[in-house]
Every structure is written in structure tokens, then in C-alpha cells.
Chain A
Amino acid sequence: DAMVIQNPRYQVTQFGKPVTLSCSQTLNHNVMYWYQQKSSQAPKLLFHYYDKDFNNEADTPDNFQSRRPNTSFCFLDIRSPGLGDAAMYLCATRADQETQYFGPGTRLLVL
């Protein structure tokens, strides 16, 4: 039973062409997170939503935006992808029990 679902699993885009990654959850958790993970590194938090409240990390580039239209869905928009944005993007959710549950990730390739 999938709990945190990410689509697509692999995304290829062109340099500068906007791309949207999606995340959905069946857990009804109130907190959702987006991370960027590069090879053999720890995930880097980009932003998170606590319900509808958006929290951006100070070092997240303006090129990255997010939307959360309802509890179940959260989107990551990359307005003008650069070669340095090629990475795995992880979505995670959390209820009030502090444990984060991760999705399988979307691997983004920028050509």
C-alpha cells in the first residue's frame, strides 16, 4: 500500500524548460516536505508545508517553488532548470509524531 507517491519516477527536461514534480499521500499527514538529494549526499531540505503554511529554507533558490492545493497533494515547480538541478527529489510527510515518511523520489535529468 503506497503511502507517499511521487510522479513521475524519472523526469527528463531541457535546460531552462519549466518542470513540475508531484507528490501525493494517503496518510492524511499535515506536514509535507520537499528535499533535493544529490549522489551519495544527505537530503537537503528545500521547503515544507505545515498545513497550508509555507516554510522556505533560507538557501533555497528562487528557481524552486511549491504549491499545496490540498492536504493530499504537493507540487515542486522548477521554473528554469539548470544542469546543477539534476538530482533526486524526495517528498516526505509527517504527522505530529515527528517521524517523516519518504516517497520513492523523482530523479530529474537536465539536458
Chain B
Amino acid sequence: AQTVTQSQPEMSVQEAETVTLSCTYDTSENNYYLFWYKQPPSRQMILVIRQEAYKQQNATENRFSVNFQKAAKSFSLKISDSQLGDTAMYFCALHTGTASKLTFGTGTRLQVTL
């Protein structure tokens, strides 16, 4: 069975600052994918970034980057130069081939303040 743990229910960051959201996971499979999804209040769930487990290089998408530590089964998301529009619920998720579905963490609610 796969599990995903997000230990920070809520976080706050000031505009233009950097924040890191934590995620740990567990799976017995070697081939899997990790994702961070963003869900703004009353809005659509959108993909922020994805990481293939077989890739050692950490994924980066503009202001968003991950720190993927495969041995430690850790997958944190760093948001640089935080913007008010980054205010949202952030879900970490794991996809494995055998399950063919996403396992979500419980989410971290991020508030960006002035």
C-alpha cells in the first residue's frame, strides 16, 4: 500500500519570501511519480510540478522547485518569491504503476500575506 504524509496542515509566508512545504511518502515500488497539485479556494486543482522517481535531477518550474530525496522518501516543494496568487491548498500525491491511481496527502493550506 502507498501512503503520503503532509505534516504541515497550515503555513503562512509573506509576499516575496520563500516557503517550503514538506511531504513524505512510502511505497515498495521502484517506478513511481510524485506530484504537487495546487487548489486555490473554490477553484480548480492544477498541476504545479511532477517528478519521475528514476530521475535524480530535481524538477523545477519557474518559481517552484522540489527537493526529491529518494532514499529518505521525501519530496518537498519550495516556492520562491511567493505571490498572493499562490494562496491555495497544496496536495502532494504519489502515482505508482500497479495502483494506476493517485494517493494524496492531506494537504497543506498556504496563505501568502502582504
Contacts and interface: CB of A to CB of B under 8 A. Distances in A.
**Does B associate with A?**
yes
B102 interface: yes
Interface string B89-112: 101000100001110111101000
Given A40-B109, A41-B106, A98-B33, A33 B44 contact: no
Nearest to A33: B101
Interface in B27-71: 33, 35, 37, 43-47, 50
A43 B106 contact: no
A99 B104 CA distance: 13
A104 B45 CA distance: 7
Contacts, number: 44
Interface residues of B, number: 20
Contacts of B44: 102-105
B55 to A, nearest CB: 13
Contacts of B107: 40-42
Main secondary structure of the interface of B (DSSP, over half): strand
A105 B41 CA distance: 12
Given A102-B44, A102-B45, A48 B95 contact: no
Contacts of A104: 43-44
A42 B109 contact: no
A40 B35 CA distance: 19
Contacts of A50: 100
Contacts of A41: 106-107
Given A99-B33, A102-B45, A105-B44, 18 more contacts: A31-B100, A33-B101, A40-B89, A40-B107, A41-B106, A42-B91, A42-B105, A42-B107, A45-B102, A48-B101, A50-B100, A90-B45, A92-B45, A99-B50, A100-B47, A100-B95, A103-B44, A104-B44
Interface of A: 31, 33, 40-43, 45, 48, 50, 55, 90, 92, 98-105
